[in-house]
A = this chain, B = another copy of it.
Amino acid sequence: MGKEILGCLDKSKLDVTKLRIFGSERSAGKIINDVTVELFNVDGARECDVVFLAVSGDFSLEHAEKIAEGEDGAIVIDNSSAFRYNPEVPLVVPEINAEACKGSKLIANPNCTTAIALMALWPLHKLFGLKKVLVSTYQAASGAGQPGMDELFEGTKKVVNGELDVAENAIFSHPLPFNVIPHIDKFMDNGYTKEEMKVTWETRKICGLPDDFPVSCTAVRIPTSRAHSESVVAETEKPFDLAAARQALTDAPGVSLVDDITADPPIYPMPLTATGKNDVEVGRLRRSEVFGDNGFELFVCGDQLLRGAALNAVLVAEAMDEMGEIEAKKVAST
C-alpha cells in the first residue's frame, strides 16, 4: 500500500518538494525511492504538509488526530477504517464529494470495494436517483496485502504442479486457489461481514444518502490477484435510459466505459484489463430484468490498490491542493 502511494505520488499533479517516509523499527533505516525511512514519530509527521497513513486502524486511532491537531498540524489522509464512520471526519472519493474535505485536517479514505462501486454509481445516481443498491463482489487476494497475493500464487503453484491436492492457508480462512470464500473481514451480529457493511455505511456517507438508504453487499474472495470486480443492481427513482447512462459514464472522470458486447471478443470489465489502470472499468450496462424501467445492472472492475486505496488518497490530496487547503496549512505552519 505504501509502495502504491509512492507510485501514485510520482505521477500526481502535486508538487512534492520533499518526501519523507516513516516506518516501524523494522523498516527504519531502509532506503526506499532514495529516501531513508525514519522511525515514526508524531512531531516529524506534523512537520509535513500532507501525511498519508497506510497503517492499521489501531495505529490510526492512536496517532492520526495527534498528527492533524491544531492549525500547524499536517493534513492526514487515513486509509484505515478507524475514522470513516466518525461524523466529524469527511469520507471522500474526490470525484464525488471533494468539497467535504474543505476545512478538515483529517480525511478518511474509503473501503476499496465501496470506492470502486461508487465510481460507476455516482454518475448514474445524478441522472436517475438511486433507490436501492445490491452488490455482489469478486475480490482479489490483494485485499489481504502482499502476503495474501503470495499465498494465492504459491498455493496455486503447488496445486497445478501436483505437490498438493488442496493448497494450505494462513492468511485466508480457507485455501483460496481454485476456491471461493464468501467471507471478508469479521462477521457482525446481523450475519453480514464488516466488509459488506462497510459498503452499506460508506455508500450512504459518501453519496449523502439517508442513514437508512437500502444498500446490501455479499463480499466474496476469489482467486484473482489485485483487481476487484462487482456485480451491481440498482433500483432508480427515474426511468433508466441506456444511452444517457452510457454518455454519463463516458463523461465521468475516473471511469472507463468498457462495454461492447457486439465486439469479437466482446469487451467488458475484467481484472486482466483493469489491473494497473487508474480508471475503474464499467460495462455490462443494461436495464434490470427485476426492477424493469426503473433499474439497471452493471459490472465494474477496478484496481484494488489504486482506486481502492493509494490513488484515491493521492487524488484527495490533489483536490485539497486545488482548494487551497494545503497552502492554508503551510501558512499556518510558518
Min distance, Cβ A183 to any Cβ of chain B, angstroms: 6
A265 and B299: CB pair below 8 A? no
A100: interface (CB < 8 Å) = no
Contact A268 B138 (CB under 8 A): no
Partner of A261, one of B156, B187, B283: B187
A75 at the interface (CB under 8 A from B): no
- The closest CB in chain B to the CB of A292 belongs to B214
On whether the beta carbons of A182 and B224 are closer than 8 Å, the reply is no
Please, what's the 1-or-0 string for A228-240, where 1 marks a CB less than 8 Å from any CB in chain B?
0101010000000
Given known contacts A175-B272, A190-B287, A272-B174, A223 and B220 CB-to-CB distance under 8 angstroms: no
Q: How far apart sit A156 and B132, CA to CA, in the bound complex (Å)?
A: 38
| A174-207 to B contact mask, C-beta < 8 Å, 1/0 | 1100111111000100111000010010000000
- How many of A's residues come within 8 Å of B, CB to CB? 62
A182-B229 contact, Cβ under 8 Å, with A160-B156, A214-B289: yes
**Is residue A288 within 8 Å, beta carbon to beta carbon, of the partner chain?**
yes
Contact mask for chain A residues 290-315; partner B; CB cutoff 8 A; 1 contact, 0 none: 11100001010100000000000000
- Supposing A138-B222, A270-B174, A289-B200 touch, asked if A284 and B182 sit within 8 A by C-beta, the answer is yes
| Chain B, Cβ-Cβ closest to A190 | B286
| Contact in complex: A290, B191 (CB < 8 Å) | no
B-contact 0/1 string along A211-252, CB 8 Å cutoff: 000111110101111000101010000000010000000000
Contact A180 B287 (CB under 8 A): no
* Cβ B286 vs Cβ A231 within 8 A: no
Contact of A290 among B134, B161, B261 (CB under 8 A): B134
Contacts of A288 in B (CB 8 A): 216
Contacts A178-B225, A225-B178, A286-B190 given; indicate if A272 touches B166 (C-beta within 8 A).
Answer: yes
Known: A161-B157, A265-B173. Is A286-B180 also a contact (CB below 8 A)? no
Asked if A110 CB lies within 8 Å of chain B CBs, one says no
Evaluate whether A178 and B269 lie within 8 angstroms (CB atoms) in the complex, with A160-B160, A284-B218, A290-B134 already known.
no
A270 touches B218 (CB 8 A): no
Bound CA–CA A179/B269 (angstroms):
10
Query: How many whole Å from A143's CB to the nearest CB in chain B?
Result: 14
Q: Is A136 an interface residue (CB 8 A)?
A: yes
Give bound CA distance, A237 to B223, whole Å.
37
Within 8 A of B (CB), among A150-174: 153, 156-157, 160-161, 166, 173-174
Asked if B233 and A266 make an inter-chain contact with CB atoms under 8 angstroms apart, the answer reads: no
Q: Are A134 and B222 in contact (CB under 8 A)?
A: no
**10 closest A-B pairs by CB:** A191-B286, A136-B136, A216-B289, A136-B231, A218-B231, A157-B160, A214-B290, A173-B265, A216-B290, A187-B261
- Give me 18 other A-B pairs in contact (C-beta within 8 A), A181-B270, A182-B270, A218-B233 excluded: A133-B290, A134-B290, A136-B218, A136-B231, A156-B160, A157-B161, A173-B265, A174-B265, A175-B272, A179-B224, A179-B272, A182-B269, A183-B268, A191-B284, A192-B286, A216-B297, A218-B284, A220-B299
Q: List 7 A-B contacts (CB under 8 A).
A: A134-B134, A156-B156, A156-B160, A173-B265, A174-B272, A180-B301, A181-B270
